[in-house]
Amino acid sequence: MKPMTTLNEPRFDPHCLNKYATLMAAGNGYLGIRATHEESYSQQNRGMYLAGLYHRAGERDVTELINLPDVVGMEIEIDGAIFSLLSGEILDWRRELSFSSGEVARDVLWRAPNGRRYRIESRRFLSAAQKSLFAMRLSITPLDGAAQVKLTTGIDATQTNSGRQHLDDISLRVYDERFLQGVYRVQGSQIDVSIGCHCAVTHTVNRLSAVNRKLMQHSTALVAQGATLCCEKVCWIAGDPDATPDGLEAQSLAALKAAADMGYEALLTASRQAMVQWWRQSRVELDCDNVQDQQALDFALYHLHAMTPEHDDRASIAAKGLTGEGYKGHVFWDTEVFLLPFYLYTHPETARQLLRYRWHNLPGAQQKARRNGYQGALFPWESARTGEEETPEFAAINIRTGQRQRVASALAEHHLVADIGWAVMRYVDISGDDAFLQEEGGELLYQTACFWISRTTEVEGHLEIHDVIGPDEYTEHVNNNAFTNYMALYNVASALKHCPTALLAADFKANAEDFIARLRLPVPDMRHVLPQDDSFFSKPFIDLSRYQAHAGKQTILLDYSRAEVNEMQILKQADVVMLFYLQPGLFTPETQQASLAWYLPRTIHDSSLSKTIHGIVAARCHDPQTAYRFWREGSQIDLGDDPHSSDDGLHAAATGAIWLGVIEGFAGVSVEQGLCVAPRLPEGWRRLRFPLCYQGIRLTLELTPTHLTMTTSAPLTFRLYGRCVSFSGQGSWAYQDFI
């Protein structure tokens, strides 16, 4: 495998504390830990999250992913000065996240305000081998004389979600004068989280304290000039969002002791080994001029691994993964549409887990449908662990008027239901796991289809879907939204075709056939442009170039109210393009090309989900330059220069989209009645190599500007640029023979 790239923080910049705390966050699907510095900065937000562990702190509050007590912080005092990179001078600096191991390293040569120099180095990682294990290492070397060092670290339960406390501390203990353990209970529940740590600090005197929700070890040492004080901190963080495991405290303590015995290097080796298999099944390798392209892919895959709770099918992927508190840790359609495809093609068992999350939550979705007068399952727009609708009923109060506004998404952004139906079908088509349709998949398809059948309004003999919001949230409460209607049709048709009969109500078949026959579907106009909804073409056009220049910042809302935006041809992202991405086979190349061209000047790309998807469609429309530009811009949503774009967490969907853009866009992989490949590499990409899993067959694809080379674990038939090819073992084909 080509050597992995790294992510480097080029300099210490107080403005970027939270950006890099997000970008370099550690995660293993079970835990996420923000990459905050050991020393505290008032602007720096620490965070540690356990997948699926949510709580609502007050009646007027929203359920949120709990920010757990901190283990990263260390107060370092050297020769009387509290170590802070704001003071003194940084003579040398390196901070780097290794994507292959997940280890973050920082090496600083610091001249303190007293004029003396100290080398301060730290390492840390969250284990891929043992999900509860987090380990750190800090070393301090005084270069200009002996130094008196004080180090205070432990478990700090003063952490909150922006001032909201979710945990009671029910036990704070120290065992053998070395093992610190706190047990924290989610308020008003019986759910406990145990957090333990062991700090081995060389040649020090230690003191312990438990004051004001902080369980701390205070170490003091005199370090000779040139000698190195080393602190190795091993932490064990364990809990289950559904129930407190029997013997949680004792088992966590035993595990902590065992881990501490192994020591940092051995633990890191074990974690690195556990990652190898994952990278083997996932890595996209690239030879090209722009090294950032490979870095963006490694970054995306690193975080896809970090954010995905593959161990727990009652948890899913939050909109910010496990990297921050944005969107309160809620799950959106992002999971099915932007993140699931990666798993479908590389880790189908994980894709199945993610769909089982929705299946577990069917009861809540059915209740929501009932409450709103529909049948079937209306999945919550925002979802946490229980499947309840977690979107706040009202948006934040308008601070100028004091008015509360109902949140429109939970009321009308119903396409999520069809997106889940689509995801079920994608899973079955790509994995070949037909059995899934007999169980969870069939139920999901059926319940979502029933919702759509009940969601219609009859107008002049047609069935219409009224008052919806498509993915484009700048256009609200429209009728016959193209995205929604086509996706609903596919949902119902799939259910009709694939659901086991035993599941179906007596009248379902007739109702479904009627729905399919009579559903009004927007059709392309004379220019081949597919209308976004019934009213979009009649709205006025305005020049959006100044807003497009600040895509992602919603600057349009500084000049126009939401109501005004709604009445113009202004798109956050283009629904129709999103539809082409999901259902390429439904529309002619002409329609896709004409529509893409027509919608582009009307699209601001204020959604982080927008650009990469537009890029994929552009690639399919044989516009590789536009495709590459969009892909690159999409990959900069987190990696770009904006110091604050990622403050409250990563754009999780955007990482999925980075992978999607390459695989579905540039490699042209799709599954439509079988596996299809239609390479269209961007200029300068000399070689693209990646693994795929298709119907249980393990493939490796290697693309050059002229040739496709494939290895397969079983005989395979696929289409290259639409023409059938059968082979086994390894094959190689020149594109020119197929175009």
> Which positions are annotated as active-site residues?
473
- Nearer to a copy of itself by Cβ, of 163 and 461: the residue is 163
Site membership for a copy of itself, residue 40 (CB under 8 A): yes
- Nearer to a copy of itself by Cβ, of 41 and 93: the residue is 41
Q: Residue 406: what are its φ and ψ, rounded to 5°?
A: -65, 140
Count Cβ atoms within 10 A of the Cβ of residue 200 and give its class: 0-12 exposed, 13-18 middle, 19 or more buried. middle
- Please name every residue paired with 270 in a beta bridge, in sequence order, or none if there are none: none
Least distance from a copy of itself to the Cβ atom of residue 174, Å: 5
How far, CA to CA in Å, does 201 sit from each of 207, 588, 680? 12, 67, 55
Site membership for a copy of itself, residue 61 (CB under 8 A): yes
Least distance from a copy of itself to the Cβ atom of residue 180, Å: 8
Cα 412 to Cα 455: distance, rounded to the nearest angstrom: 11
- Please report where in the chains the tokens 């497009």 appear, as a residue: 548
Contact call for residues 14 and 41 (beta carbons, < 8 A):
yes
Tokens coding 53: 């562990």
Q: What is the dihedral of CA 656, 657, 658, 662, to 10 degrees?
A: 110
Angle (deg, nearest 10), helices 440-454 and 362-371: 10
Q: What is the DSSP-derived secondary structure letter of residue 95?
A: E
- Nearer to a copy of itself by Cβ, of 164 and 462: the residue is 164
The span of 398-406, 486-494, 506-514, 564-572 binding a copy of itself (CB under 8 A) equals 398-406
Site membership for a copy of itself, residue 171 (CB under 8 A): yes
- Nearer to a copy of itself by Cβ, of 251 and 292: the residue is 251
The span of 36-44, 283-291, 535-543, 680-688 binding a copy of itself (CB under 8 A) equals 36-44
Site membership for a copy of itself, residue 402 (CB under 8 A): yes
- 3-class SS shares of the chain: helix, strand, coil, % to 5: 35, 25, 40
- Please report where in the chains the tokens 């107060």 appear, as a residue: 75
Site membership for a copy of itself, residue 172 (CB under 8 A): yes
Cα 110 to Cα 98: distance, rounded to the nearest angstrom: 23
- Nearer to a copy of itself by Cβ, of 60 and 726: the residue is 60
Question: Site for a copy of itself (CB under 8 A): which residue of 3, 190, 373, 396?
Answer: 396
Output the DSSP codes for 591-612. Answer: HHHHHHHHHGGGB---STTHHH
Cα 329 to Cα 54: distance, rounded to the nearest angstrom: 8
The span of 37-45, 441-449, 490-498, 515-523 binding a copy of itself (CB under 8 A) equals 37-45
The span of 207-215, 427-435, 562-570, 624-632 binding a copy of itself (CB under 8 A) equals 207-215
Q: Which of 444, 446, 452 minimizes the C-alpha distance to 514?
A: 452
**Annotation-wise, does 93 bind a ligand?**
no
Q: Which of 701, 703, 729 minimizes the C-alpha distance to 716?
A: 729
Cα 517 to Cα 640: distance, rounded to the nearest angstrom: 47
Angle (deg, nearest 10), helices 291-307 and 264-280: 110
Question: Site for a copy of itself (CB under 8 A): which residue of 187, 292, 479, 700?
Answer: 187
Q: Which of 624, 606, 614 minimizes the C-alpha distance to 678?
A: 624
Site membership for a copy of itself, residue 57 (CB under 8 A): yes
- Nearer to a copy of itself by Cβ, of 560 and 738: the residue is 560
One-letter amino acid for residue 14 of the chain: P
Return the beta strands (E) in 585-715 as ranges. Answer: 670-671, 675-677, 685-694, 697-703, 707-712
Site membership for a copy of itself, residue 548 (CB under 8 A): no
Question: Site for a copy of itself (CB under 8 A): which residue of 41, 278, 727, 738?
Answer: 41
Site membership for a copy of itself, residue 514 (CB under 8 A): no
Least distance from a copy of itself to the Cβ atom of residue 737, Å: 57
Site membership for a copy of itself, residue 215 (CB under 8 A): yes
Site membership for a copy of itself, residue 400 (CB under 8 A): yes
Question: Site for a copy of itself (CB under 8 A): which residue of 55, 123, 213, 414?
Answer: 213
Site membership for a copy of itself, residue 555 (CB under 8 A): no
Least distance from a copy of itself to the Cβ atom of residue 386, Å: 22
Using DSSP bridges, classify how beta strands 697-703 and 707-712 pair: parallel, antiparallel or unpaired: antiparallel
Sheet holding 675-677, edge to edge: 670-671, 675-677, 716-720, 723-727
Site membership for a copy of itself, residue 173 (CB under 8 A): yes
- Nearer to a copy of itself by Cβ, of 83 and 581: the residue is 83
Cα 72 to Cα 646: distance, rounded to the nearest angstrom: 20
Cα 465 to Cα 458: distance, rounded to the nearest angstrom: 9
Question: Site for a copy of itself (CB under 8 A): which residue of 158, 228, 405, 706?
Answer: 158
Q: Which of 590, 612, 573, 618 minimizes the C-alpha distance to 415?
A: 573
Encoded one letter per residue, x for contact with a copy of itself by CB under 8 A and - for no contact, window 76-95 reads ----xxx-x-xx--------
Question: Site for a copy of itself (CB under 8 A): which residue of 8, 165, 206, 438?
Answer: 165
**Annotation-wise, does 641 bind a ligand?**
no
**Which residues ranging from 99 to 118 are in contact with a copy of itself (CB under 8 A)?**
none
Cα 46 to Cα 135: distance, rounded to the nearest angstrom: 16
Site membership for a copy of itself, residue 14 (CB under 8 A): yes
Cα 89 to Cα 92: distance, rounded to the nearest angstrom: 9
Least distance from a copy of itself to the Cβ atom of residue 211, Å: 8
- Nearer to a copy of itself by Cβ, of 185 and 414: the residue is 185
Q: How many residues bind a copy of itself (CB under 8 A)?
A: 48
- Helices within 230-317 (DSSP H only): 248-262, 264-280, 291-307
**Annotation-wise, does 572 bind a ligand?**
yes
- Please report where in the chains the tokens 């004792």 appear, as a residue: 250
Least distance from a copy of itself to the Cβ atom of residue 552, Å: 17
Using DSSP bridges, classify how beta strands 6-8 and 89-98 pair: parallel, antiparallel or unpaired: antiparallel
* Total Cβ atoms within 10 A of residue 87: 12
The span of 42-50, 91-99, 257-265, 667-675 binding a copy of itself (CB under 8 A) equals 42-50
Question: Site for a copy of itself (CB under 8 A): which residue of 11, 59, 373, 526?
Answer: 59
Question: Site for a copy of itself (CB under 8 A): which residue of 174, 200, 516, 676?
Answer: 174
Contact call for residues 411 and 473 (beta carbons, < 8 A):
no
Site membership for a copy of itself, residue 163 (CB under 8 A): yes
What does R_g of the chain's alpha carbons equal in angstroms?
A: 27
Least distance from a copy of itself to the Cβ atom of residue 38, Å: 12
- Nearer to a copy of itself by Cβ, of 75 and 534: the residue is 75
Least distance from a copy of itself to the Cβ atom of residue 297, Å: 33
**Annotation-wise, does 509 bind a ligand?**
no
Question: Site for a copy of itself (CB under 8 A): which residue of 1, 91, 146, 160?
Answer: 160
Site membership for a copy of itself, residue 189 (CB under 8 A): no
**Which residues ranging from 481 to 500 are in contact with a copy of itself (CB under 8 A)?**
none
Question: Site for a copy of itself (CB under 8 A): which residue of 190, 212, 545, 726?
Answer: 212
Residue 73: CB partners within 8 Å, gap ≥ 6?
Answer: 36, 38, 39, 40, 46, 153, 156
Question: How many residues are listed for the chain in this entry?
Answer: 739
Least distance from a copy of itself to the Cβ atom of residue 46, Å: 10
Site membership for a copy of itself, residue 405 (CB under 8 A): no
- Nearer to a copy of itself by Cβ, of 406 and 518: the residue is 406
Site membership for a copy of itself, residue 403 (CB under 8 A): no
Cα 120 to Cα 261: distance, rounded to the nearest angstrom: 24
- Nearer to a copy of itself by Cβ, of 70 and 313: the residue is 70
- Binding positions are 333-334, 572-573
- Binding positions for substrate are 333-334, 572-573
Q: Which residues bind a copy of itself (CB under 8 A)?
A: 14-15, 39-44, 57-61, 75, 80-82, 84, 86-87, 157-160, 162-165, 168-174, 177, 187, 208, 210, 212-215, 396-397, 399-400, 402
